[in-house]
Amino acid sequence: MAGKVITVNGLITKRTLLVAGVIVAGALLVVASYLLEPMPFPRYLRLPVGDWIEAAVDWLTVSWAVFFDGISFVVGKVLTWITDRFLGLPWPVVILLFALVGWKTAGRRVAIFGIAGLLFLGILNLWQEGMYTLALIVTAVILSLVLGIPLGILASRSDRFESIIKPILDAMQTMPSFIYLIPAILFFGIGRVPGVLATVIFSLPPVVRLTNLGIREVSLEVVEAATSFGSTSRQLLTKVRLPLALPTIMAGVNQTIMMALSMVVVASMIGAPGLGYNILYGIMRVDLSIGVESGIGILILAMILDRITQGIGKTRRRALTMEYMG
């Protein structure tokens, strides 16, 4: 009989035999662990994976130095421009801009909370540090979106590309955040730029995943209707798939911002300025007051950015609902 094995006692499924084989193999391994040496393999059989990666990084550092210098130059220029905008504008103008954006995207309560939160940041005498942190976050999020949304679009259009990028995203999300500091230092040195790029690597996966998910969840009926009216592939993407997937994409943007904020303190270890550096200073000096105040500052920025991005997603979802109901 197909799929089964005949024995003296009757019929046993192949799954039962597989489970029994796993149990026997596990028992043998337990017995072997008591009889053999503590190490499962001799040291001469060890695979030097870390040495291979180090050699590859050394080769990249020398052979691709011009490429990494170009990235550092561009990211540094963008970061400097954004930082100058936040620090160059008078603080009432910055607060007013945040209030207007909050009111437009999320309503009056978010606008009032933004005003109160930023004023409280100034009362704590952390305005300059907060603007440095905000500039770093904005730069990292912009780079994450520039890289992540196209990757998410490619993943949504190709199952093969999705299967390739998924384990890479898994590794980026599960690796300890401190690991990203090592290649950042080797490729870009110490300072603000490697801090931004380490933050980008850490915060990139959510926007890629949710862009892919949002586009794949667009109704096939809507796509087929647009195709029947003569829409091209580009028009389907820009006029149908991306607008309908925008609420999900905004959820990815929200998660990217939150992960970037969580990376601020880690990035300060390689020279990134701002509230994260204050927290690191408080840890080194065991200064509770500066650590707590800087942590509150990061919390305020996180809540403001979170409410604004959530408001954009809700506004788009409400507009789509009204469009379908109409």
Q: What is the pLDDT of residues 194-241, one digit of tens each?
A: 889 888 988 999 999 999 999 998 888 888 888 888 878 888 888 888
**pLDDT-derived band of residue 287, with 50, 70 and 90 as boundaries?**
confident
The CA distances from residue 290 to 12, 29, 87, 257, in Å, are 68, 53, 21, 24
Q: Are residues 55 and 166 in the same domain?
A: yes
Q: Are residues 142 and 31 in the same domain?
A: no
Q: Are residues 295 and 173 in the same domain?
A: yes
CATH of the domain at 218: 1.10.3720.10
Average pLDDT, the chain: 84
Which among 70, 51, 68 is positioned nearest to 60, based on CA atoms? 68
SS3 326: coil
Q: Are residues 247 and 168 in the same domain?
A: yes
pLDDT-wise least confident of 109-113, 169-173, 311-315: 311-315
The CA distances from residue 240 to 54, 154, 223, in Å, are 45, 16, 7
Q: Are residues 303 and 169 in the same domain?
A: yes
**pLDDT-derived band of residue 152, with 50, 70 and 90 as boundaries?**
very high
Q: Are residues 272 and 313 in the same domain?
A: yes
Q: Are residues 37 and 157 in the same domain?
A: no
Q: Which residue has the higher pLDDT, 67 or 46?
A: 67
Half-sphere exposure at residue 174, Cβ-oriented, CA atoms within 13 angstroms: 6
Q: Are residues 135 and 269 in the same domain?
A: yes
pLDDT at 8 exceeding the cut of 50: no
For the stretch 239-255, pLDDT in tens is 888 888 888 888 888 89
Q: Are residues 79 and 152 in the same domain?
A: yes
Q: Are residues 10 and 146 in the same domain?
A: no
Q: What is the DSSP letter of 5?
A: E
Q: Are residues 129 and 195 in the same domain?
A: yes
Sign of CA dihedral 228, 233, 235, 237: positive
Q: Are residues 20 and 56 in the same domain?
A: no
pLDDT-wise least confident of 24-33, 66-75, 80-89, 114-123: 24-33
Confidence at residue 34, expressed as pLDDT on a 0 to 100 scale:
66
Q: Which two tokens stand for residue 266?
A: 């880690």
Confidence at residue 320, expressed as pLDDT on a 0 to 100 scale:
56
Residue 298's contacts (CB-CB under 8 Å, 6 or more residues apart) are 133, 261, 264, 275, 276, 279
Q: How many distinct structural domains can be found in the chain?
A: 2
- The percentage of residues in the chain with a pLDDT greater than 90, rounded to a whole number, is 31
- Whole-angstrom distance, CA of residue 199 vs CA of residue 81: 18
SS3 4: strand
Domain that holds residue 27: 4-45
